Amino acid sequence: MAEAEDLDQWFYRPPKTDAQRLGIVVGGSLSKGLDVKLDPRSVVIEGLAVGRYVVIHGARTGRRFFGLITDIVLDNTNPLIEKTPPDTSDPFMAEVYAGTSTFGRLHVSPMLVLEEGAKEPKPVKTVPEHFSVVYTATEEDVNQVFGQEDATHFKIGEPLDMEGIPVSLDLKKFVERSSGVFGKSGTGKTFLTRMLLAGIIQQDVAVNLVFDMHNEYGWKSQGEGGYEVKGLRQLFPTGRVAVVTLDTESSRRRGSKVDFEVEIGYEQIEPEDVDMLRDLLGLTDVQANALYFLRRRLGRDWIAKLLAEDEIAEEIESIVDQGSLHPGTLGAIQRKLGIFRRFAFLKPGLETNVVQRILDHLSKGISVVIEFGRYGNSLEAYILVANFLTRRIHEEYVKRKEAALGRTADEPRPLVITIEEAHKFLDPLISRQTVFGTIARELRKYNVTLLIVDQRPSGIDEEVMSQIGTRVTCLLDNEADIRAVFSGVSGAGALREVLARLDTRQQALILGHAVPMPVVVKTRDYQSLYAALAQGDGKAPEEVLKRNKAILRGEGEFEGFD
Amino acid sequence: MSTEPVMHQHIGRVLNASTTRFTAGCRVPLSALPTFGALARVNAQGGRCQVYGMIYDIYVDDDPLVRQLASLPEPDEEIIQDQLRNRHIPVEISLLVVGHRLEGRILHSLPPQPPLSLDKVYLCDEAELVEFTSAFDYFRLVLAADQVPREELLAAHLRLAAGARGAEGRDFRVEAGRELARLLGGNLVLLDGVLRRIRP
């Protein structure tokens, strides 16, 4: 026994593991990644895939290096074999040549290192030595890296080719900084976003404000397969989600259960809110600047006065008479603001303060989903409302946070604002002026972060993109979009191959703040999400059964089954 | 087995030797001559070490009597048979040294000393052939040898060694082939030549 231990000191004995041995490290570098020669007999190259996890056991230090397969190569010992391939129709010849003269090679990007006996993996600063053995990652490895599902870790899916092994996202970190969900249209962005939002609500790490352009998050929506998918309000029937709408009729038609209607008074609109629409309305610089002047001169009901068709306000006449504003400019502004008349949610003389109502919900920890109904097709309405509400809510958060710093109030609940078509808000030309650009840049300073959902990340200001903490990316194939997603990520080159080869459905690459290393996941399906949420609500099954029975008998108020 | 008596009797004696190859004069009747590629063993260092050689050439020399007999129009069959059995000069067998056994262990490397003249040369039996060929390090000695038909020699030798393994012969051929593929990565023509000759 003692002799055996002595021998162990001199000869490396690979640790016992049920992982499959893939091969050995034969070269590479920290910056460019490692080359791994595949074991010819045991590994079938066609059974591997980019994006898969591997673990490299450092031979002498006992360290374990976690890496990601970023490329798979066919290699040979003699290039002449490509010119004169052997006769492999003979099984004997094929068996002899496979893995000897010709063999497979993997390119592995090392990401994390786990010291012997340590629990927390650290970013990799060196490489394993020559001929270190490479294994597939096991459930234990994945758990060690991503942490098991717990109070702040939310299962988002399974690593590629590792069925049954959960990958968890650290939601606390996810909401700490602004995050993004990117991907071509039809690759599952909405599904992923809904799942992330459900996770955030379930784990209670933040409260959400969702600008639901296409009415997909609140009550229900149609899945890609044509089947009906429950929205957040149905997933959390206990009142943790409120759905509000800009278009009651559309919500009623869709059978959506709505908490209240969003109405904005003309008097509440400030020139800054309209300025955001500068490009969409085609306002020139002169016209945009005139807005501020008009607000100053016309007072709170400046919009109502500008839009009034029957009687022209005295102030307007005097402005024109005094020559303070060119009549052409004024006319253009009035014409362009005319679009507001088509927005039924904008009303003159309204006293209710929708911002306060939403803020009250948020302070109580109730997430708010704003359905746009038919206005979802109007980018002007979407940007106006999103900007209008966000600017005021952000201001309030800044105040509350400052009060908390001055120890006169409690810290405001972390808030995640979800916006779709984010490049319209975060375009390089306007992102510096809009509140969304500010929120993305100031990180978690005021407990407000963004969840950006977009299919054209290249349209988003680079400075904002570099501040995005966690990027969840479905398939992208436009080169500029891929580049944008990886901006500010070190060692991104190798990940490009992975991203460009994701499946069109149910696969995503997650990288950034909330995951210790980039991970390609097969996202979990609805069934598993529903099941997890039903369990996670903390109610005993008997209680749930009793309640559901009561609903079926018509005794309880129906808010959806648990 | 018919080869049994040959196992324990020597097939000849060393004529000349170096550490890398040696020649033996064979006294056995031609019918019992060892074959090309076979493995033979000879003692060296006074019996402390056994040197293994692989037969790469078998040379049947003539003598004046053979010349005379060959010139006869129709020599007597009895005389020819006598000549075959009782040759004046031995059949010369050239062997390439491919390893040695020291203190019971087989090493696929050159021996410390060559065998001496007239040391007895024994043909290895199947068990010893299987034992010697359980590793392939001796391939390098064969591949490094000059003026030896390496391709043919390896192929003949591997066919014998595979035959000695019976049903496991195919696996042996594949393993040997893979080792050759590693060693001959730079010489695909030689590799292909050997592999074609040893395929089952």
**Per-residue pLDDT tens over the stretch A181-217:** 998 888 888 888 888 888 888 888 889 999 888 888 8
Record: contact A101-B181, CB cut-off 8 A: yes
Contacts of B174 in chain A (CB under 8 A): 92, 95-96
- Cβ(B106)–Cβ(B16) below 8 Å: no
Residues of chain A with pLDDT under 50: 1, 538, 562
A364, A355, A366, A372: which is closest to A217 by C-alpha? A372
Give the tokens for residue A118: 């340590």
A487, A429, A437, A498: which is closest to A457 by C-alpha? A487
- Residue A485 CA, chain-centre distance (Å), reads 12
Record: contact B177-A96, CB cut-off 8 A: yes
- Side-chain-side CA neighbours of B72 within 13 Å: the count stands at 11
Neighbours of A321 (CB within 10 A): 9
Q: Closest CB to B178: pick one of A80, A90, A96.
A: A96
Rounded Cα–Cα distance for residues A330 and A183 (Å):
42
Query: How many interface pairs between A and B have CB atoms less than 8 angstroms apart?
Result: 41
Q: How far is B199 from chain A (nearest CA, A)?
A: 6
**Nearest-by-CA chain B residue for A82:** B188
- Cβ(B83)–Cβ(B24) below 8 Å: no
Rounded Cα–Cα distance for residues A34 and A25 (Å):
7
**Nearest-by-CA chain A residue for B171:** A92
The pLDDT, as a whole number, for residue A497 is 78
Rounded Cα–Cα distance for residues A378 and A417 (Å):
20
Identify the residue with better confidence: A354 or B37. Answer: B37
Here the contacts of A308-312 (C-beta below 8 Å, separation 24 or greater) are none
- Cβ(A80)–Cβ(B186) below 8 Å: no
| Percent composition of chain B: helix, strand, coil (DSSP 3-state, to 5) | 40, 25, 35
The pLDDT, as a whole number, for residue B5 is 33
Contacts of A80 in chain B (CB under 8 A): 188
Collapsed DSSP state (helix, strand, coil) of residue B40: strand
Rounded Cα–Cα distance for residues A234 and A237 (Å):
5
Record: contact B186-A99, CB cut-off 8 A: no
Contacts of B180 in chain A (CB under 8 A): 96
Treating both helix axes as pointing N-terminal to C-terminal, what angle do A314-322 and A327-337 enclose, rounded to 10 degrees?
Answer: 140
**Nearest-by-CA chain B residue for A91:** B199
Residue A206: C-alpha distances to residues A60, A196, A370, A447 (Å):
45, 11, 17, 9
Rounded Cα–Cα distance for residues A188 and A99 (Å):
39
**Per-residue pLDDT tens over the stretch B102-160:** 999 999 999 999 999 999 999 999 999 999 999 999 999 999 999 999 999 999 999 99
Tell me which H or E stretch contains A7.
helix A2-10
Contacts of A92 in chain B (CB under 8 A): 170, 173-174, 177, 195, 199-200
**Nearest-by-CA chain A residue for B177:** A96
Rounded Cα–Cα distance for residues A330 and A307 (Å):
11
Q: Which of B174, B188, B194, B199 to mutate to test the interface with A (most CBs of A within 10 A)?
A: B188
Which residues touch B183 (CB under 8 Å, ≥6 apart)? B139, B140, B143
Record: contact B188-A95, CB cut-off 8 A: no
Q: How far is A102 from chain B (nearest CA, A)?
A: 9
Task: Name residue, tokens 């006769």.
Answer: A87
- Side-chain-side CA neighbours of A305 within 13 Å: the count stands at 18
**Nearest-by-CA chain A residue for B174:** A96
Pairing mode, strands A260-261 and B39-44 = unpaired
Neighbours of A103 (CB within 10 A): 20
Contacts of A90 in chain B (CB under 8 A): 199
The pLDDT, as a whole number, for residue A223 is 67
**Per-residue pLDDT tens over the stretch B50-83:** 999 999 999 988 888 888 888 988 888 898 888 8
Contacts of B177 in chain A (CB under 8 A): 92, 95-96
Q: Closest CB to A84: pick one of B180, B185, B188.
A: B188
Record: contact A96-B186, CB cut-off 8 A: no
Contacts of A81 in chain B (CB under 8 A): 188
Helical segments of chain B, H only: 4-8, 64-71, 77-85, 126-132, 139-143, 150-163, 169-183, 188-198
Q: Closest CB to B181: pick one of A80, A84, A100.
A: A100
Record: contact B199-A80, CB cut-off 8 A: no
Contacts of A96 in chain B (CB under 8 A): 174, 177-178, 180-181, 195
Torsion angle of the four alpha carbons A43, A47, A48, A49, in this order, in degrees rounded to the nearest 10: 170
Record: contact A92-B170, CB cut-off 8 A: yes
- Cβ(B143)–Cβ(B157) below 8 Å: no
Which residues touch B22 (CB under 8 Å, ≥6 apart)? B14, B15, B16, B42, B51, B53, B94, B95, B97, B114, B115
The pLDDT, as a whole number, for residue B6 is 39
Collapsed DSSP state (helix, strand, coil) of residue A389: helix
Which residues touch A375 (CB under 8 Å, ≥6 apart)? A246, A247, A343, A345, A381, A382, A385
**Per-residue pLDDT tens over the stretch A501-519:** 888 888 888 888 888 888 8
- Cβ(A460)–Cβ(A423) below 8 Å: yes
> Residues A267, A268, A274, CA angle at the centre, nearest 5°?
100
Mean pLDDT of chain A: 82
A260, A208, A238: which is closest to A365 by C-alpha? A208
> Residues B158, B161, B167, CA angle at the centre, nearest 5°?
115
- Specify the amino acid at residue A485: V
Record: contact A96-B195, CB cut-off 8 A: yes
Neighbours of A84 (CB within 10 A): 10
> Residues A463, A425, A384, CA angle at the centre, nearest 5°?
155
- Cβ(A390)–Cβ(A439) below 8 Å: yes
What does the DSSP assignment read for A135-202? EE--HHHHHHHH--S-SSEEEEEEETT-TT--EEEEHHHHHHS-EEEE--TTSSHHHHHHHHHHHHHH
- Cβ(B163)–Cβ(B39) below 8 Å: no
The pLDDT, as a whole number, for residue B141 is 94
Q: How far is A97 from chain B (nearest CA, A)?
A: 7
The pLDDT confidence band at residue B2, using thresholds 50, 70 and 90, is: very low
**Nearest-by-CA chain B residue for A99:** B178
- Specify the amino acid at residue A548: N
Q: How far is A41 from chain B (nearest CA, A)?
A: 11
3-state secondary structure string across A487-540: CCCCCCHHHHHHHHCCCCCCEEEEEECCCCCCEEEEECCHHHHHHHHHHHCCCC
Chain A residues with a Cβ under 8 Å from any Cβ in chain B: 77-78, 80-81, 84, 86, 90, 92-93, 95-97, 99-101
Contacts of A84 in chain B (CB under 8 A): 188
Q: Closest CB to B178: pick one of A78, A84, A100.
A: A100
Record: contact B192-A86, CB cut-off 8 A: yes
Q: How far is A95 from chain B (nearest CA, A)?
A: 7
Record: contact A100-B174, CB cut-off 8 A: no
What mean pLDDT is predicted for residues B153-168?
Answer: 94
The pLDDT, as a whole number, for residue A35 is 95
Q: Closest CB to B181: pick one of A80, A84, A96.
A: A96
